[in-house]
Amino acid sequence: MKLSHLYINLKYFTQFLLFYARSDLRHIERADVPHVVPENFIGVNIASNKNEDTDEYILDKIQDLRLKNLRIYFTYEDLNNHKARLLKKLKHFNGSIIVNLSPPPKDAGDISSEHGMMAWKNFINKFFNDFKEIPFAVEIGSTINRPSWTKLSFKSFFMIWASTYSMCRIHKRSIIGPNVTDFEPFINFGIYRYLQSKHQLPDEISNNLFMERTIQPEPYDRRIFLRKYPMLFKFDIYKKSALYKLIANHFNIKSLISPCAFWSKKRVHRLIEQPNLQRSKYVTRYFALLAAKGDFAKVFWGPLICGREGLISNSIQEPNYPNLEQVTYYKEARGKISDFNIKKMYYALRFFNITIPGAKFIKDYSHDTNIHILEFEKSNQIIHILWTQNCLVQDIQLHYHLNDLRNGQYKDHLGNEIETPNAITENPIFIYWKKSHQPNLIQAPKISNNYFINHDPQHYFFLHDAEWEGLIKTKNKNALHSFLKACHPSKLSSPDKKDSLRLSRNAVWSLDIPNFGKVVIKKPAHIYPHKLYLDRHRPNKSIRAWNGANALLAKGINTASPIAVFSKKSDKTGLENYYICSYSNAYNFNELAMHFRSENTFKGLSKRHIFEHCAQFINDMHGRGLFFNDLSAGNIFIKINDNHFDFELIDTGRVRNYFRNLSFQSRKRQRMKDIVRLLNKFDWETRNIFLKYYFQLNNKSLSLLDKLSLINYDVFVEIKRFRKKIQKKLS
């Protein structure tokens, strides 16, 4: 960053802090003001390509999506290419069109010179003349707080703004700007103070919010001031929106738009195994929250057609993504029509756009970012949209009376009709009632349990019992009844040692259940008094095992599938709880270590082949922000089928989930803690195979200190074994 740019940032930041300190933002942070959602609330960014048939494809999808807002990037070279051709076809478009006018990055550095400004003025003169019959508004500025992307300084921006502002006033066109990316409201504030002094304020504020960096739409932003303490400032999507509205009111600017937002496939896939389905949920949740808050008049998705961010994929792989970020300049819809593939995000946006714009927002019943129940009214119907943050679950009967649930009609976020749900999860649900049957919520939405679930499409059922509470994952209600008939917690009891798979701190045994097959049941058998005290505010051991397994599955790491978790109400011993998961018919690494003492291959697979793949599996787990914390050889299994194999983890009660990807360097200590436990029973030949490949995956070299950490753990284990032998003899 250049010193001049840094100086301006500091200047704007100081001005903004004074404004923020005097504001009463805390009074407008919630979505509690009834209002009508604009019918033209949702928009999308468009671009075509050399093939004119692509124009017709795009126009067809615009109509199918029922869009009334379009936005298109335009620069010098676009006056005579596919963008000009597409824009002219929108002459009779029944909606609003925003054209973002920008200098090309290669010319932006020279824009403040006499030659550069002449080129810009010629460009906007020609644009206004060529497209005078098109009903467009002009946006100036494209991620201008990222000069490395735009190559545009603040000085250059103010010069092109001044000349374009005059042109817009002459031609009676609205001017919008400055399109600041991420959450940096001080840039907007500083720019508007300068423009106010020049009597050149925009007609509408544009800021893209760019909620992608919060991974999902709802959480408090961790990248504001102090990463570890997002609760300190509580900047969620509502508060961000309210702050921009406050800035708009301060400068007497009547309207706000968010010109671009998306969750890229690349970023979501770092943490979640099914990024396309997950992003479709984010589409609904993002638009629903901004529709409820009511501060933004128009909210745009990113590119219509793009492999990484688009509602429609072009089948172009990640390495071929354009060098210039498409949030800065969406150049073209690359690929052929035959390669275009409509994503679930497309259907989510279409269903939301058909359902909510034009409706009256009534209330967000929640004051907790973890769960939302939004109420809208439209066409004599009451519509509720409800969901939780990722991987959380809530019993729907805590909030709705059974009679209200029976009278409702249900659709998922893609518009498909569904059965009456049993739980509120991260999958948005639309519930419709006739206005005469308007429901009354039992209590304000708040997550009231400690359960963590994965992105599994199966149903979750809460146990409603006078003595026990719990959560069961099954396909349907018939399967639920079958499971509880055989496995209700009141019927479970720990078997003798000879009938157990394990009996020490935990009792572990297997059971055959009709329609479920063989399952494993785990119950705490002994808890040390000091652990009972230290863990008094934590979920019990069975819930921790359930949560650990679901954390692994949520990020695409194999583990025995969790089926149920039960806890006795008012239990103070910490022993009356059960965790039930599928039975794993596989080989654990203890057996593998014994085998490799006398053999060099296992089931036709070489030691190198197995342990390089194992290193890949463990590195994937660590790279997704997961640390096992109990990765002994007995807790990792290998499944082999026709020379193909998969790894699977069990005993998941100590899993640490960081909800974000973590670098090798920042978490090396925790990574090595897992690795030294796993390799403890293997010889140095095997250890070196694993370590060398694991470090290569992270572009690091194995050092002597890394090997010493394994030796230290070996010594620790031997001392522990020796101590146990002495204690046994003394007893």
Looking at the predicted structure, is the pLDDT value of residue 353 above 90? yes
- Looking at the chain, the whole-number percentage of residues with pLDDT higher than 90 is 66
Kindly give the interhelix angle for 185-197 and 154-170, rounded to the nearest 10 degrees. Answer: 60
- Please give the average per-residue pLDDT across 16-24, as a whole number: 87
Residue 204, beta-bridge partner list:
176, 255
Q: What is the CATH number of the domain that holds 72?
A: 3.20.20.80
Structural domain contains residue 89: yes
Residue 226: predicted pLDDT: 62
Give the Cα separation of 669 and 675 in Å (integer). Answer: 10
Looking at the predicted structure, is the pLDDT value of residue 731 above 70? no
Give the Cα separation of 354 and 413 in Å (integer). Answer: 12
Instruction: Centre a 10 Å sphere on the Cβ of residue 356 and count the other Cβ atoms it contains.
Output: 23
Structural domain contains residue 453: no
Give the Cα separation of 410 and 430 in Å (integer). Answer: 6
Three-state SS for 265? Answer: helix
142 and 212 fall within a common domain:
yes
76: which residues sit within 8 A by CB, 6+ positions away?
Answer: 103, 104, 107, 119, 123
Three-state SS for 625? Answer: coil
- Please give the average per-residue pLDDT across 507-512, as a whole number: 91
Q: What is the DSSP string of 479-527?
A: HHHHHHHHH-GGG-----GGG-SEESSEEEEEEEETTTEEEEEEEE---
Q: How far, CA to CA in Å, does 714 sit from each of 702, 709, 717, 720?
A: 18, 9, 5, 10
Could you read off the pLDDT of 626-681 as tens digits, one per residue? Answer: 999 999 999 999 988 777 788 999 999 999 998 777 788 888 999 999 999 999 99
Structural domain contains residue 448: no
627 and 671 fall within a common domain:
yes
Structural domain contains residue 124: yes
521 and 660 fall within a common domain:
no
Could you read off the pLDDT of 121-177 as tens digits, one per residue? Answer: 999 999 999 999 999 999 999 888 888 888 888 899 999 999 999 999 999 999 999
Token output for 675: 């690795």
512 and 634 fall within a common domain:
no
In residues, how long is the chain? 731
Q: What is the CATH number of the domain that holds 660?
A: 1.10.510
429 and 339 fall within a common domain:
no
Looking at the predicted structure, is the pLDDT value of residue 225 above 80? no
Residue 503, beta-bridge partner list:
507
121 and 257 fall within a common domain:
yes
Give the Cα separation of 422 and 603 in Å (integer). Answer: 45
Asked whether 563 and 542 are in contact (CB, 8 A), the reply is no
Structural domain contains residue 112: yes
621 and 635 fall within a common domain:
yes
42: which residues sit within 8 A by CB, 6+ positions away?
Answer: 67, 68, 69, 287, 298, 299, 300, 301, 349, 352, 353, 357
119 and 209 fall within a common domain:
yes
Q: What is the CATH number of the domain that holds 409?
A: 2.60.40
Does residue 421 have a cis bond before it (omega within 30 degrees)? no
Residue 270: predicted pLDDT: 82
Residue 227: predicted pLDDT: 61
Q: According to the 3-state scheme, what is the secondary structure of 134-193?
A: CCEEEEECCCCCCHHHHCCCHHHHHHHHHHHHHHHHHCCCCEEEEEECCCCHHHHHHHHH
**Signed CA dihedral, 129, 133, 137, 142: sign only:** negative
- Domain extent, residue 419, equals 362-437
| Average pLDDT, rounded, for the chain | 91
Residue 538: predicted pLDDT: 92
Q: Which runs of E-coded beta strand occur in 197-347?
A: 204-207, 255-258, 298-303, 312-313, 341-342
Residue 8: predicted pLDDT: 86
Confidence grade of residue 188 (pLDDT, cut at 50, 70, 90): very high
Token output for 43: 């928009």
Residue 465: predicted pLDDT: 92
- Please give the average per-residue pLDDT across 711-723, as a whole number: 90
* Weakest mean pLDDT among 224-228, 248-252, 282-286, 578-582: 224-228
Residue 131: predicted pLDDT: 96
Looking at the predicted structure, is the pLDDT value of residue 231 above 70? no
Residue 228: predicted pLDDT: 64
Could you read off the pLDDT of 255-286 as tens digits, one per residue? Answer: 999 999 999 888 888 888 888 999 999 999 99
Could you say which of 582, 600, 625 is where a domain stops?
Answer: 582
How far is Cα of residue 607 from the mean position of the Cα atoms in its chain?
A: 38
Structural domain contains residue 16: yes
Q: In terms of pLDDT, which residue wins out, 448 or 4?
A: 448
8 and 129 fall within a common domain:
yes
- Please give the average per-residue pLDDT across 351-376, as a whole number: 95
Looking at the predicted structure, is the pLDDT value of residue 393 above 90? yes
Token output for 485: 């008939």
Residue 135: predicted pLDDT: 93
Asked whether 273 and 455 are in contact (CB, 8 A), the reply is yes
Could you read off the pLDDT of 64-100 as tens digits, one per residue? Answer: 999 999 999 999 999 999 999 999 999 999 999 999 9
- Type of residue at 562: P
- Looking at the chain, the whole-number percentage of residues with pLDDT higher than 70 is 98
615 and 542 fall within a common domain:
no
Could you say which of 437, 472, 501 is where a domain stops?
Answer: 437
Residue 283: predicted pLDDT: 97
Structural domain contains residue 376: yes
Q: What is the CATH number of the domain that holds 546?
A: 3.30.200
Q: How many domains does the chain have?
A: 4
Residue 3: predicted pLDDT: 65
Could you read off the pLDDT of 443-495 as tens digits, one per residue? Answer: 888 898 899 999 877 789 999 999 999 999 998 888 999 999 999 999 998 88
340 and 387 fall within a common domain:
no
Could you read off the pLDDT of 402-456 as tens digits, one per residue? Answer: 999 999 999 999 999 999 999 999 999 999 999 988 899 998 888 988 999 998 7
Could you read off the pLDDT of 542-595 as tens digits, one per residue? Answer: 999 999 999 999 999 999 999 999 999 999 999 999 999 999 888 889 999 999
Could you say which of 356, 374, 389 is where a domain stops?
Answer: 356
347 and 369 fall within a common domain:
no
Could you read off the pLDDT of 27-72 as tens digits, one per residue? Answer: 788 898 999 999 999 999 999 999 999 999 999 999 999 999 999 9
Looking at the predicted structure, is the pLDDT value of residue 319 above 80? no
Structural domain contains residue 454: no
